[in-house]
């Protein structure tokens, strides 16, 4: 069984896993990291969205071999201790979540979007593919704009 | 136990007939070392309201909080650590019931919301543990407040004794009792002495609404932080009992059967623990879901087609149309406006696929899953695995969405059977394709509506429907985890025959309805707002068409024909706030619709850009609702928002096709539930002030939103939409 090492939420981890094992199941079934959710397994619903070297990925379709010696961040690694990431805070301020199942993925997608595009337009936000079956989309939009504005004026 | 009531006990019969506003709730004190009070009213079923059998259970102090009271009552405990704990006999699936109940408790106890914990109760043996029919807030509002008000009175009395002060001089705030001189005592520090108070020295009656500080205040969810940090736990996140990941290979067609299975290659794969043939297909238990899916895909199975293999959408639509009952003769000298509508099947597709952890042993079983009907689930699981129900423990978990899907417990029964056969604990997960192809769905339906108009008024309104019913004849998969007793009791069973709306909503003269059905061996289920999601949507479209035929504005026409003032008020609010009638460029239009149900009413105004009719965008939604007392306006707004997205999805683009006995769709790539780009750029909800007791709200908005979207689309495109979803 091949062995893969990568940095997970700031900590070095090593797993023995088949090369084609999707990162999602390495995280969930081997490492007990359950923030990234299974919603489809084919990269469509994006409930598992996490970051690989700071860029958005869908761990359900990324083999663990592709993560070797790289940086993986899941929702669990987003906050700085008890201090939430501004996007998480915006999610609280806008009371975005309903069932909550897709929200770790939504938040990780929003963080990646704001990194690429600090002031996203409605058209940019429209390009988010993550499914929210509870229909929280208007609050997600509001929270992204709020986090974007907070990023503009970090003192606030 | 000391039995006391915050108001005189009322015999069960008058409790039933007294109506919600005059219901009174007995509150019991349970023998415990901490203050623990219980209200049976919270959990009684409509059949069994009696205090007698409840009191029976409570009389054994040793059972308190273990198998006695907590089994059938709403129990509030104040812990020494200053937490207020109420084990809720409902499930949280995103609708916000834990937050709403925490608010009710915090209100009457004057506790800080953060000090109130609302864990979900395990499946009980008695009472009402049904989450559905938008009934949770209305069924818990009285008992939860009575419970907390009684606890507060005892805590105040205990503090008065400690400080030797008159109890009436003490105040409560932030989970503390406060003396006039400023001394403070936390509830936790008083709980042991409060447990011994049998006659509180201050009234234990809930506050009048005018003194509410928590109820009615927009409040964020109590579990929001757990959600945004990834800490919220769903069934699949548990590592309970060492349960191993399990998936099932399922047939391509609905109800297909495995006739031969070659599992040699799958069994030889690394990480595979067991391969078993089961009713629904072939189960694989493995070390991880990756190993389980790989082995599943390596199975060589010959499938016999299911019983619907010769059936596709067109034939189902034709059979439904033929099953619609005939109309009566129309009134003489009236002109008739007739319309027919067809709605496709729609998947529930909650984000969290069906998942259940099962640990079945020789003489007992323990289960973990999210369920709207855990009592029925436990009984059915027990019967399936051949154990007495008392030997089956069901832990109810939060669910990642439901929309009616978790009324049924197909996956839990399947998991229990696999665990029993494999002789090990399993964590069964349906794949998304399993969920969409074999999971339940809103039945397809056909509607024929006829309005008779004479002298500018509707004098008769008929609505005949037919929908697909679940056939149990062939003992197919639908026999498992089927429609539950609780669902049937509540009259929400999809197979019970839809009652076309009685349209008491409008002054339409003679209103009548009838329904027929087509029985098919497929898994169906109540979908948020159940029959109203189709029947009332179709009616709201017809109301617009009647208005047009009479040369009247849709809002003005509704205003003059609606019977109920409250519905007119929400209509007026939505129309005013949404600037009804404002000029819009070609290809864009507004649409409006109303709905009344669950003791509540709602209006929805939608604006659509249908410049490209095949790719329309609802740009703005304004809703107005009167749900009586809105416990948490923030949560209510979220529920309305969700129903708006449901309306957009089901009317414009999301449905399931049946091709030769199989569901064509298998993921969110082709089951096109709305994405961000389909959601309105602007959404607002207006909640009308009310002092009435709470009505239902979770499902309320679906028909109004769907109707408004359909009407907006019709006005923007100059078409008459008849088949839904429109772009399918």
Higher pLDDT, B659 or B198: B659
Name every chain B residue with its beta carbon within 8 A of the beta carbon of A39: 351-353, 432, 668
Read off the pLDDT of residues B233-273 as tens digits, 9 standing for 90 and up: 999 999 888 999 999 999 999 999 999 999 999 999 999 99
Task: Indicate the pLDDT class of residue B27, thresholds 50, 70 and 90.
Answer: confident
Instruction: Please state, in angstroms and as integers, the Cα–Cα distance from residue B380 to each residue in B129, B384, B499, B603, following that order.
Output: 15, 6, 28, 40
Q: Which fold has domain A3-76?
A: Ubiquitin-like (UB roll) (3.10.20)
Instruction: Output the DSSP codes for B632-657.
Output: -HHHHHHHHHHHHHHHHHHHHT--B-
Residue B231 pLDDT exceeds 70: yes
Instruction: Output the DSSP codes for B90-156.
Output: S--SSS-HHHHHHHHHHHHHT--GGGEE-PBPPP-SSS-----TT-HHHHHHHHHHHHHHHHHHHHH
ipTM given for this complex = 0.98
- Please judge whether B228 and A137 are an interchain contact, meaning their C-beta atoms are less than 8 angstroms apart: no
Instruction: Please report, to the nearest 10 degrees, the dihedral formed by the alpha carbons of residues B294, B296, B297, B303 taken in order.
Output: 180
Name every chain B residue with its beta carbon within 8 A of the beta carbon of A136: 638, 641-642
Read off the pLDDT of residues A99-115 as tens digits, 9 standing for 90 and up: 999 999 999 999 999 99
Read off the pLDDT of residues B151-171 as tens digits, 9 standing for 90 and up: 999 999 999 999 999 999 999
Distance CA B96, CA B530 (A): 20
Q: To the nearest whole percent, how much of chain B has pLDDT over 70?
A: 88
Phi, psi dihedral angles at B664 (to 5 degrees): -70, -40
Write the burial class of residue A129 (CB in 10 Å: 0-12 exposed, 13-18 middle, 19+ buried).
middle
Read off the pLDDT of residues B51-89 as tens digits, 9 standing for 90 and up: 223 333 333 222 223 333 456 688 999 999 999 999 999
Q: Is B219 helix (H, G, I), strand (E, B) or coil?
A: coil
Among B712, B722, B327, B316, residue whose Cα is nearest residue B538: B722
Angle of CA points B594, A99, A82, to nearest 5°: 135
For domain A86-152, the question of CATH label 3.20.20.140 is answered with: no
What's B154-181 look like in SS3? Answer: HHHHHHHHHHCCCHHHCEEECCEEECCC
pLDDT of the residue at B90:
96
Strand B84-86 versus strand B116-117 pairing type: parallel
Read off the pLDDT of residues B463-489 as tens digits, 9 standing for 90 and up: 999 999 988 654 444 444 544 444 443
Distance CA B457, CA B453 (A): 5
pLDDT of the residue at B32:
80
> What residue spans define the domains of chain A?
3-76, 86-152
Q: For chain B, list the domains and their CATH numbers.
A: 2-224 (3.30.365.10), 235-306+354-429 (3.30.365.10), 316-345+440-724 (3.30.365.10)
pLDDT of the residue at B40:
72
Task: Indicate the pLDDT class of residue A153, thresholds 50, 70 and 90.
Answer: low
Tokens standing for A133? 């079956």
- DSSP-assigned beta bridge partners for residue A83: A80
Best interface-test mutation with B: which of A37, A133, A136 has the largest number of B CBs within 10 A?
A: A133
Name every chain B residue with its beta carbon within 8 A of the beta carbon of A27: none
Choice among A2-11, B311-320, B327-336, B500-509 with the minimum mean pLDDT: B500-509
Q: What is the mean pLDDT of residues B194-217?
A: 96
Task: Indicate the pLDDT class of residue B41, thresholds 50, 70 and 90.
Answer: low
Read off the pLDDT of residues B525-570 as tens digits, 9 standing for 90 and up: 999 999 999 999 999 999 999 999 999 999 999 999 999 999 999 9
Task: Indicate the pLDDT class of residue B503, thresholds 50, 70 and 90.
Answer: low
Q: Which residue of A has its CA nearest to B397?
A: A99
Q: What is the mean pLDDT of residues B607-619?
A: 98
Name every chain A residue with its beta carbon within 8 A of the beta carbon of B680: 138
The DSSP code for B678 is G
Please answer whether residues B131 and B486 qualify as being in contact, where contact means their C-beta atoms are separated by less than 8 angstroms. no
The alpha carbon of A45 is separated from its chain's Cα centroid by a whole number of angstroms, namely 12
Residue A118 pLDDT exceeds 90: yes
How far is B227 from chain A, CA to nearest CA, in Å? 6
Tokens standing for B150? 């009684």
């Amino acid at each position: 069984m091949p062995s893969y090492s990568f940095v997970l939420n700031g900590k070095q981890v090593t797993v023995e896993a088949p090369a084609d094992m999707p990162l999602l199941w390495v995280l969930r079934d081997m490492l007990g990291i359950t923030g990234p959710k299974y919603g489809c397994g084919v990269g469509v619903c994006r409930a598992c969205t996490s970051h690989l070297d700071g860029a958005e990925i869908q761990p359900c379709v990324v083999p663990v071999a592709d993560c070797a010696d790289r940086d993986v961040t899941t929702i669990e690694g987003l906050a700085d201790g008890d201090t939430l990431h501004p996007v998480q805070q915006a999610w609280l301020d806008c009371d975005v979540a309903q069932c909550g199942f897709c929200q770790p993925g939504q938040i990780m997608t929003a963080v990646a979007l704001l990194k690429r595009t600090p002031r996203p337009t409605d058209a940019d936000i429209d390009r988010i593919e993550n499914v929210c079956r509870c229909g929280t989309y208007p609050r997600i939009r509001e929270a992204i704009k709020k986090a974007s504005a907070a990023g503009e004026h970090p003192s606030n | 136990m000391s039995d006391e009531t915050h108001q005189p006990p009322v015999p069960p019969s008058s409790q039933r007939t007294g109506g919600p506003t005059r219901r009174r709730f007995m509150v019991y004190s349970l023998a415990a070392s901490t203050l623990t009070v219980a209200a049976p009213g919270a959990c009684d079923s409509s059949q069994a309201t009696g205090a007698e059998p409840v009191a029976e259970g409570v009389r054994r102090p040793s059972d308190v909080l273990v198998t006695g009271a907590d089994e059938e009552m709403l129990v509030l405990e104040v812990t020494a650590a200053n937490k207020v704990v109420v084990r809720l006999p409902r499930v949280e699936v995103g609708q916000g019931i834990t937050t709403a109940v925490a608010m009710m408790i915090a209100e009457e106890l004057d506790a800080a919301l953060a000090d109130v914990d609302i864990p979900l109760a395990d499946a009980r043996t008695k009472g009402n543990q049904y989450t559905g029919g938008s009934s949770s807030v209305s069924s818990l509002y009285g008992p939860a407040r009575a419970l907390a008000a009684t606890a507060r009175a005892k805590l105040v009395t205990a503090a008065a004794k400690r400080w030797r002060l008159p109890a009436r001089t003490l105040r409560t705030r932030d989970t503390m009792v406060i003396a006039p001189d400023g001394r403070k005592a936390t509830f936790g520090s008083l709980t042991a002495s409060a447990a011994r108070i049998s006659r509180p020295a201050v009234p234990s009656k809930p506050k009048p609404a005018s003194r509410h500080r928590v109820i009615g205040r927009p409040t964020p969810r109590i579990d929001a932080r757990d959600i945004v940090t990834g800490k919220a736990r769903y069934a699949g996140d548990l590592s309970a009992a060492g349960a191993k990941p399990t998936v099932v290979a399922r047939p391509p067609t609905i109800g297909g059967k495995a006739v031969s299975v070659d599992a040699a290659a799958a069994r030889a794969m690394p990480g595979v623990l067991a391969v078993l043939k089961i009713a629904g297909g072939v189960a694989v238990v493995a070390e991880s879901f990756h190993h389980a899916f790989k082995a599943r895909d390596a199975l060589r199975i010959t499938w016999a087609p299911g019983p619907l293999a010769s059936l596709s959408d067109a034939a189902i639509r034709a059979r439904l149309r033929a099953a619609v009952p005939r109309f009566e003769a129309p009134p003489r000298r009236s002109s008739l406006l007739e319309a027919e509508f067809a709605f496709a099947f729609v998947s529930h597709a909650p984000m969290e696929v069906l998942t259940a952890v099962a640990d079945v042993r020789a003489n007992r079983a323990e289960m973990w899953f999210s369920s709207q009907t855990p009592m029925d689930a436990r009984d059915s699981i027990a019967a399936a695995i051949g154990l007495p129900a008392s030997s089956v423990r069901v832990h109810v978990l939060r669910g990642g969405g439901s929309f009616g899907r978790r009324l049924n417990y197909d996956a839990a029964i399947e998991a229990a059977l696999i665990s029993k056969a494999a002789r090990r604990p399993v964590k069964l997960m349906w794949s998304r394709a399993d969920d969409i192809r074999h999971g339940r769905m809103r039945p397809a339906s056909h509607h024929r509506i006829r309005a008779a108009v004479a002298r500018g008024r509707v004098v008769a309104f008929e609505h005949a429907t037919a929908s697909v019913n679940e056939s149990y004849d062939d003992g197919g998969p639908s026999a498992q985890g089927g429609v539950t007793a609780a669902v049937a009791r509540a009259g929400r069973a999809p197979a019970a025959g839809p009652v076309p709306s009685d349209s008491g909503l409008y002054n339409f003269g003679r209103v009548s309805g009838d329904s027929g059905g087509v029985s098919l061996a497929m898994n169906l289920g109540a979908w948020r707002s159940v029959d109203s999601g189709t029947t009332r949507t179709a009616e709201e479209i017809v109301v617009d068409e009647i208005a047009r035929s009479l040369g009247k504005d849709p809002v003005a026409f509704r205003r003059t024909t609606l019977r109920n003032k409250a519905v007119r008020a929400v209509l007026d609010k939505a129309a005013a706030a949404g600037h009804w009638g404002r000029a819009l460029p070609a290809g864009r239009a507004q649409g409006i619709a109303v709905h009344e149900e669950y003791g509540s009413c709602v209006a929805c105004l939608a604006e659509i850009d249908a410049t490209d009719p095949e790719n329309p965008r609802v740009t703005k939604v304004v809703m107005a609702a009167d749900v009586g007392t809105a416990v948490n306006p923030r949560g209510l707004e979220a529920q309305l928002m969700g129903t708006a997205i449901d309306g957009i999805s089901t009317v414009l683009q999301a449905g399931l096709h049946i091709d030769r006995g199989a569901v064509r769709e298998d993921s969110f790539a082709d089951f096109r539930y709305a994405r961000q780009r389909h959601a309105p750029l602007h959404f607002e909800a207006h909640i009308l002030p009310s002092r009435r007791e709470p009505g239902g709200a979770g499902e309320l908005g679906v028909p109004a939103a769907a109707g408004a979207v359909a009407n907006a689309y019709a006005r923007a495109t100059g078409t008459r939409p008849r088949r839904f979803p429109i772009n399918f």
